[in-house]
Amino acid sequence: MNELSYRLFFKAFSNKTRFEIIRLLRREQKSVTEICKDLNFEQSRVSHNLKCLEACGFVSSKWNGKNKIYSLDKKHILSILDNIDKHIERYSKRLESCGVLKNKSCGVIK
């Protein structure tokens, strides 16, 4: 695997909008309208970021009548998130005290 793919993978997680969508879809599948309502984001913002997440394999969609329902890739992305949770559980104090990550110029998610 190449370095660019790794950078782009983590870039998908580092964007606040995509991060919030991923967190929301981790709990349950949702339509664009539901995501907009739950996150208080405009429809264009959500749709734009869902398009990115779907193109990159983070989420998939299916039609349910007139609604397109989005869900997280349970086989791959959910297991990655579960491993991240374990890491955070183990190293949360170190993460929270890391001055480099707290630097606003690093683009940290708040």
Output the domain CATH number for residue 87: 1.10.10.10
Beta strand segments in the chain, E:
30-31, 59-64, 67-72
Q: List the structure tokens of 1.
A: 């695997």
Token look-up 């991240």 returns 84
According to DSSP, residue 33 is labeled: H
Full-prediction pTM beyond 0.75?
yes
Q: List the structure tokens of 35.
A: 């995501």
**Mean pLDDT, range 3-26, rounded to an integer:** 93
Total number of domains constituting the chain? 1
The string of pLDDT tens digits covering residues 86-101 is: 999 999 998 888 888 7
Q: What are phi and psi for residue 109, nearest 5 degrees?
A: -80, 130
Domain of residue 91 covers 3-106
The string of pLDDT tens digits covering residues 61-91 is: 999 999 999 999 988 999 999 999 999 999 9
Q: List the structure tokens of 97.
A: 């005290």
